[in-house]
Structure 1
Amino acid sequence: MFQELPDTLDRVMVIAAHPDDPEFGCAGTVVKWALSGKEIVYVLLTSGDKGSHDPDLRPGRMAALREGEQRAAARELGVERVIFLRHPDGLLENTLELRRQLSSLIRQHRPHILVTIDPWRHYQLHPDHRAAGQAALDAMYASREWGIFPEQLVDDVEPWRVREAYLFWTDNADHWEDISASIETRISALARHASQVSPNMEKLAERIRNWTHEMGKEAGYEHAEAFKRFQF
């Protein structure tokens, strides 16, 4: 069936490797879009269960803690739903099964815009970040094809074509979102990830203000987030 072009791009899916990745990468844009009426869904591929150097904090407890932090941050930003796929932190791979899961979610939620990590960033050392971005883009391609994962096409689920992709943490930015009005909300949401940012949040907040200010200079904004943007 031919998919008509939408009048507005009002559904967004953010796919990232860990809790706190969206707040570090694109939360100023997320809250700005949410306030404008866009419906936003987060998909976290892991629960960040290895996100502690404390040997007494077991992965199961760490995962529960970080999922709670992510939900709190998402609420502050106006995100409507947070989905955790609970793949193992630090061991994420762009497997066929992961692409199958993401394709199913894309077909169910039908986002017009997909936001994820740029897997082609120079010297992107974290393997989970590379895998998350590549899997998200591969699933975006698969979700539009009738012949890929056809078992998903039941109960009125059909192939879905994403209209735009925004890649954050990129070396090849060609699109900037003005977050001058939402920078402090971005910082406040990041502070919800206390297990990762305490007790250094004050210094981190200043670094983020400086970082987004430098990005804003590229487009004439006081603060901005930079993306590689694709339109399909």
Structure 2
Amino acid sequence: MSDLTPFPTDWQTALALVAHPDDPEYGMAAAVARWTGEGKRVVYALASSGEAGIEGMEPAEAGPLREAEQRASAKIVGVDDVEFWGFPDSDIRNTPQLRERIVEAINRVAPQVILSLYGGPEWAPGFPNQRDHMEFAAAVLEAYDTLEPAARPRWLFENGPAATHAVDVTDEIESAVRSLAAHERYLAVLDPQTPVVDQARAQVDRMTAPRDDFGGVRAACFELKRTT
């Protein structure tokens, strides 16, 4: 097992491209908290409002609720810029329209770093990835590849299991837990038997476990997919 590479530091703006509310909090939020604490800017762009994500709640009610939870969650880790694109939750596809929206966001925000979702079929044997995530991740890669070389952000990372780079987030764990727990209604319905903060802590602990291949510290991990 080779050691992970420290995440680049010579950048100022990152664009996190994800499919649904709560996607940043399931793996990126601890790193985002560190970066914003260092004065870097992170922008969240979400393909959908997660309107199909709360069982027993109509999309017209769930969508605005989940947007509000995402904005509150983002603020905890220092992200003020959060946008929602209105693509259909649970039916996100790698379409020309989605790729165009991704390109528009990249050109407008002008980030040096793109953070995207894991696009592989399984997180581990027996743990399949969501179709929305796979379609969205493929759209991000294709959109990036259509950009003129001079317009491409320097790095494109996916937040997934095949990590190449890592960020020491030892001091950001509590912020990450609070950020995920801000999705209170969503988590309360997802697992009514487990307190929301306990759900959040368990997930953050899984995603930021100490890494023997990164000095034994707690780390948020990313896979480098593209670089210029």
The answer to whether the aligner puts 1:211 opposite 2:220 as a matched pair is: no
* Structure with greater contact order relative to length (CA < 8 Å, sep ≥ 6): 2
3-state DSSP of counterpart to 2:211? helix
Distance 2:198 2:182 in 1: 15
Deviation track 1:193-219 (CA, whole Å, cap 9, x = no partner) reads: 012222532432442354245353331
1:223 aligns with 2:204: no
The CA distance in 2 between the partners of 1:210 and 1:192, in whole Å, is 17
Q: Distance in 1 between matches of 2:75 and 2:11?
A: 21
Q: Which of residues 4, 17, 33 in structure 1 aligns to 2:35?
A: 33
Contact 1:209–1:223 under 8 Å retained in 2: no
**Equivalent residues of 2:13, 2:42 under 8 A apart:** yes
The TM-score normalised by the length of structure 2 is: 0.85
1:161 equivalent among 133, 141, 152 = 152
Structure 1 residues 121 and 34, CA gap change in structure 2 (3 angstroms): farther
Contact between 2:177 and 2:201, CA under 8 Å: does it hold in 1? no
Percentage of matched positions with identical amino acids: 29
- Give the partner amino acid of 2:218: H
SS in 1 for 2:21: coil
The one-letter code of the counterpart of 1:58 is E
1:59-78 equivalences under 5 Å are 59-78=59-78
Selected match of 2:164 from 174, 178, 191? 174
State the distance in 1 between where 2:218 and 2:181 align. Answer: 19
Deviations 1:163-190 (A, max 9, x none): 011211x231111111101011001011
Instruction: Decide which of 128, 131, 142 is 2:132's aligned counterpart.
Output: 128
Residue by residue, what CA displacement relative to the aligned partner does 1:54-81 show, whole Å, maximum 9, x if unpaired?
A: 1xx2101100000000001111111131
Q: Counterparts of 2:108 and 2:60 in 1: how far apart (Å)?
A: 29
1:23-74 CA deviation, whole Å, 9 max, x = no partner?
A: 11200011111111111110000100001111xx210110000000000111
Q: Any unmatched runs of 5+ in structure 1? A: 1-6, 146-158
* Amino acid of the structure 2 residue aligned with 1:85: W
Q: Distance in 2 between matches of 1:189 and 1:87?
A: 24
Unaligned runs of 5+ in 2: 1-8
CA–CA distance in structure 1, aligned partners of residues 94 and 210 of structure 2: 30
Q: Which residue of 1 aligns with 2:181?
A: 191
Which residue in the other structure is 2:6 paired with? none
Structure 1 letter corresponding to 2:217: E
TM-superposition CA deviations, 1:141-161 (whole Å, max 9, x none) = 22336xxxxxxxxxxxxx621
Give the match for residue 12 of structure 2. Answer: 10
Judged with a 3 Å threshold, the aligned counterparts in structure 2 of structure 1 residues 213 and 160 are, in CA distance, closer, same or farther, namely: closer
Whole-angstrom CA distance in 2 between matches of 1:188 and 1:221? 24
